[in-house]
Amino acid sequence: MAKNGSGKSQATKIAGRSGVAAAKVKPARLKSAAIIRAGSRAQAVSITPGAAKRLVSEKAERFTESVIREMTRQAQLHGAMNLAQGFPDFSAPAELKRAAQQAIENDVNQYAITWGAKNLRQAIARQATTWQGMEVDPEKNITVCCGSTEAMIASLLAVTNPGDEIVCFEPYYENYGPDAILSGARPRFVSLRPPANGTGEWTFDEGELRRAFNRHTKAVIVNTPNNPTGKVFTRAELQLIAELCQQHNALAITDEIYEHIIYDGAEHISMARLDGMSERTITINGISKTYSVTGWRVGWAIAPALLSNAIRKVHDFLTVGAPAPLQEAAAVGLSLPQTYYVELAQGYRRRRDRLHAALTEAGFKAYMPRGAYYMMTDIRSFGFADDVSFTRHLVKEIGIAAVPGSSFYSQSGQGSQQVRFAFCKKDATLEEAARRLLRIGKKRN
């Protein structure tokens, strides 16, 4: 689970100039057996706790395993519905599946060019121009990676040095904290505050953001549409961030994986298309969410040539390349007609509204997202001590897995009365979830 029995957070904790304390992870007090072969003999040698601790890197001890993936394991353990991890339980487009099968049949089964198959890079460049008006050279500006997750860590490793700082809005997608640690940077967090009435936009304080930038700032991570809040950053907010990046000679690293999943007239704007930002923005995206293929692991980073060269070198030695046949299928996906993306957003809006109604009826204060496919909620009305005890009860007794809100924050205690649900599910799944959620509402009364 995300926290231990005492209620102390086991979510990602990161040390930085913002004053956030590093998580204290105690090594298991166990004696493990190491088999040492000497000729034909083998003997067991005890490793003391102190010696065992030395075998693990300091970086790895500064963060825990993914809470989101842990909740998926809890769902499987208890036979619960998984509204925790953001993967659809419905089929991917038939065109993509046929394209992948055909690519395998055509023996596209060996290494693609390290930074991406030519067909896919050309499709990415074409669509970046069509959707966002970006000028992208497929030969110089694109690195195809094993999902947007690898694109993010490859980008951070390519641009940061020890002592650099990364500005990050929180609550944040849980990978960003460990990514900063692994790349040797220090994160500085800027708070996103939920709307008072549950239907407005999550906001941040301009003064707090300005204070987060300084001479050590290397980059700011902007996830829009945002996971977990569903916030879609406005043009004015992005222009403020762009102004600070230019003032402090910093980069913007944007995670835009949910760009096509937006609602209520919201507009997705890529930072790279703003004045002065094309040469200092790394745009990260992928096919996982738009095409319901989270297991394919095909993503990319679009960057100016100088940065792209650095990202390509890091990517090459991290994974060599993304799956070749799935890259060919991804190129087909990027060629789907505009009607696909309109219907995608409409379908997710219906799912969003269905889950929001169910959560509200059950007694949650649910924050209506304007993008992505997650819903953050306030659980104070249920009277549980914290988010972990609540999600533990939810998965064991109600049969629904959700994510403790504290896993999206840097400090213990933050998000302790918040829980995130994913609604990238079939109508039947959401209908059954609504039925089950009413049980906790009745228990509350």
Mean pLDDT of the chain: 88
Cα separation, 403 vs 174, whole angstroms: 11
Q: What is the pLDDT of residues 214-258, one digit of tens each?
A: 999 999 999 999 999 999 999 999 999 999 999 999 999 999 999
Q: What is the pLDDT of residue 49?
A: 78
Query: pLDDT band for position 199 (50/70/90)?
Result: confident
pLDDT, tens only, 339-355 = 999 999 999 999 999 99
**pLDDT at residue 47, rounded to an integer:** 80
**Which residues in 208-305 belong to E strands, given as ranges?**
217-223, 251-255, 281-286, 299-302
pLDDT in tens, 277-325: 999 999 999 999 999 999 999 999 999 999 999 999 999 999 999 999 9
Strands 32-38 and 41-47: antiparallel
pLDDT the model gives residue 391: 94
- Higher-pLDDT residue of 364 and 52 is 364
In this prediction, residue 184 carries a pLDDT of 92
pLDDT digits (tens, 9 = 90+) for 402-444: 999 999 999 888 999 999 999 999 999 999 999 999 998 665 5
Angle, CA 356 vertex, CA 440 and CA 91 arms, to 5°: 100
Query: Beta partners for 374?
Result: 422
**pLDDT above 80 (res 182):** yes
Cβ atoms of residues 42 and 35 within 8 Å:
yes
pLDDT at 53 over 70: yes
Predicted confidence at residue 10, as pLDDT, reads: 39
Q: What is the fold, at CATH topology level, of the domain defined by 94-335? A: Aspartate Aminotransferase; domain 2 (3.40.640)
User: On the CB side of 326, how many CA atoms lie within 13 Å of its CA?
Assistant: 19
To the question of domain 63-91+339-444 being in CATH 3.30.430.20, the answer is no
Cβ–Cβ under 8 Å, residues 291 and 96: yes
pLDDT of residue 37: 34
pLDDT in tens, 121-132: 999 999 999 999
Residue 293: burial class (beta carbons within 10 Å; 0-12, 13-18, 19+): buried
**Owner of token pair 């945002």:** 226
Q: What does the domain layout of the chain look like in residue ranges?
A: 32-61, 63-91+339-444, 94-335
Cβ contact 208:191 at 8 Å:
yes
Task: Quote the CA–CA distance of 277 and 441 in Å, as a whole number.
Answer: 48
The predicted-structure confidence for 153-166, as pLDDT tens digits, reads as follows 999 999 999 999 99
pLDDT at 25 over 90: no
Distance of CA 245 to the CA centre of its chain: 22
Confidence of residue 45 (pLDDT cuts 50, 70, 90): low
Quote the CA–CA distance of 70 and 348 in Å, as a whole number: 25
Same fold, 63-91+339-444 and 94-335: no
Tokens found for residue 48: 């003391």
- CA-CA distance, 388 to 373, in Å (whole number)? 22
Q: How far is CA 249 from CA 108, 181, 215, 244, in A?
A: 42, 22, 9, 8
